[in-house]
Amino acid sequence: MDGKQKSPQDALDHEFANSTTCHGASRIANAKNRPHMTMWTLVFLAAFGLCTWQVSDRFQNYFAYRTGTEIDVQLESELNFPAVTICNFNRIRASGVSINDQLYLGAAFYIPTLVGDPEALNAYLNGVDWDSFGASAELLGDYAGYTRRNGFVLDNSTLLECFWRGRPCYAENFTHVFTTYGNCWTFNGDKNSPLKQTTPGAGNGLKMTLDILTDEYTENPLTGYLEYGLVFQVHDQNEPPRPELVGTAVAPGSHTYASTFQTHYKNEPSPWGQCDPKKGQNYLDYYDTYTLPGCLLECRAKLVESCGCRPMYYPGTLDYCSPLNLSSCVLPTLATFLQENNEFDACGCTVPCEHTSYHTTVSYAGYPSPQAASYLETVFNVSRGYSSVNIVLLDVYYHELRSTTLEQFKAVTQSGLISDVGGQLGFFIGVSVITLFEFFEYLVMKFLVFACYSKMESETEKPDREQSTKENSSVPPENKGALATELQTMPKTQKGLAEIQVS
């Protein structure tokens, strides 16, 4: 050391460098010579740079909001059986409705095929004399009630046989629901007391034999319906059915095995996932539990309020639309909306934070066998030829009593981020939480020392200036002349100082 007395600020810096837990500071402060100090300074700066890079990388990794999925598979002794909704491709039965009603419905349901061409649609609507069809007042005034009475009806004549876990079930065990297929029927739709399957395999769930009444079909190929048969959907009891989106078609003359399994989803909220924790119980206006299908249905119902009515398969309080209003206003409005918008974003519908989904694998077998044909003919008076185009045997069951939970989790949590950052700081430069408080204390002390030292210097300089002024003002006037003469011979530096004294 040079022997000079250190200032309070230098002393504080040296004390901090020797006492802090941050690695490398004391080595720099106590270096024996300049090369030694330079070496440790470079080492510290390199470690600090690497630490900064790694800490930045850890923060970038956290704010990428990546997630992982944990799969938990549990074998159960029993499982809640899902709801099963079945629909007929035929919306209106021929028996009981007039030919005028059928012609009117065919003309009205032809409209959606023209939605893509506004000019053709307007020309069609204006060119048809809708009053000339002579459709019934019931059809024009109460299309929902008309469909309820004249659509596909599940009763003892269409439900030939039904078994739940080997025990008989009946049409009374099904509840009615409207969909785009008209009348549909749901088994085990009570969410408060769902049935449970205790034995896996075919025949241990829901098994039913149905007559789809092919001779009753009134669907016109011009309206887009070319097939005959049933559509069924396996879904959670809290979820409104949408068989037009996720339904499975079943052809008559076959035994359909619908093997299903249950998956429970747990999703992370935004920004890690897409769910919104606020969208839970009682979030929707017309459904107790928030589901994605329920949210989309409510959104569509609000969208078509401008038509002054709503389809019978949408929730709400408006009156049901007539077939003409449905085809000329509701469906074109929806088509335009879907062409111009992403439905999920526009409606603000996200996946639920928790929901149960059912996935179904379908396989088929020939039906009926010769013995089964004899049984149908004997018991139900159904011929083999009739059963091949009318009878559907549907078997819905769990192929094993297994529940799968897919839980989404954060790839990097807040505690994980703290651990990562703390590990990098500790590994490279030895910084911990205590070190941060040491830095804070050092900065506070540095400020206080600077403030006090500046104040002491100003107080010390003030008396010195006053004393100097006093001494300069005490020079007698007769000596000022001699001093002035002496200035002529002084060097420039001394001369400047002497001039100040003389003045």
Judged by phi (left if over 0) then psi (alpha if -120 to 50, else beta), residue 165 lies in: left
* Percent above pLDDT 90 for the chain: 48
pLDDT of residue 499: 44
Lowest mean pLDDT among 24-33, 243-252, 293-302, 412-421: 24-33
pLDDT of residue 119: 76
User: What CA dihedral angle connects 113, 118, 122 and 127, to 10 degrees?
Assistant: -50
pLDDT of residue 127: 81
With CA atoms as reference, report the closest residue to 324 among 139, 457, 73: 139
- Between 172 and 3, residue with greater pLDDT: 172
pLDDT of residue 488: 53
Confidence of residue 282 (pLDDT cuts 50, 70, 90): confident
Whether residue 487 is predicted with pLDDT greater than 60 in this model: the reply is no
Q: Which amino acid is at 345?
A: D
Lowest mean pLDDT among 183-192, 281-290, 310-319: 281-290
With CA atoms as reference, report the closest residue to 67 among 356, 274, 350, 345: 274
pLDDT, one tens digit per residue, over 83-114 is 999 999 999 999 889 999 998 888 888 776 66
pLDDT, one tens digit per residue, over 222-245 is 766 788 999 999 999 999 999 999
1-65+416-451 CATH, one of 1.10.287.770, 1.10.10.10, 1.20.1250.20, 1.20.810.10: 1.10.287.770
Range with the largest mean pLDDT of 4-18, 298-312, 462-476: 298-312
pLDDT, one tens digit per residue, over 45-69 is 999 899 999 999 999 999 999 998 9
Question: How open is the CA angle 186-92-255, to the nearest 5 degrees?
Answer: 50
Cβ partners under 8 Å of residue 102, min gap 6: 92, 94, 218
Whether the Cβ atoms of residue 218 and residue 105 lie closer than 8 Å to each other: yes
With CA atoms as reference, report the closest residue to 361 among 243, 261, 263, 264: 261
486: how many CB neighbours lie within 10 A of its CB? 13
Q: Which amino acid is at 30?
A: N
pLDDT of residue 121: 74
Whether the Cβ atoms of residue 380 and residue 239 lie closer than 8 Å to each other: no
H-assigned helices in 79-228: 99-109, 118-127, 137-141, 143-150
Task: Find residue 59's DSSP bridge partners.
Answer: none
Range with the largest mean pLDDT of 414-418, 474-478, 499-503: 414-418
- Going from N- to C-terminal start, the domains of the chain cover 1-65+416-451, 71-410
Whether the Cβ atoms of residue 50 and residue 37 lie closer than 8 Å to each other: no
Domain 71-410 matching CATH 2.60.470.10: the answer reads: yes
pLDDT of residue 434: 84
pLDDT, one tens digit per residue, over 6-21 is 666 677 777 777 778 7
pLDDT of residue 390: 94
Whether residue 264 is predicted with pLDDT greater than 80 in this model: the reply is yes
Lowest mean pLDDT among 190-199, 227-236, 449-458, 482-491: 482-491
Whether the Cβ atoms of residue 79 and residue 262 lie closer than 8 Å to each other: yes
pLDDT of residue 131: 85
pTM: 0.78
d(CA 485, CA 475): 15
- Between 477 and 67, residue with greater pLDDT: 67
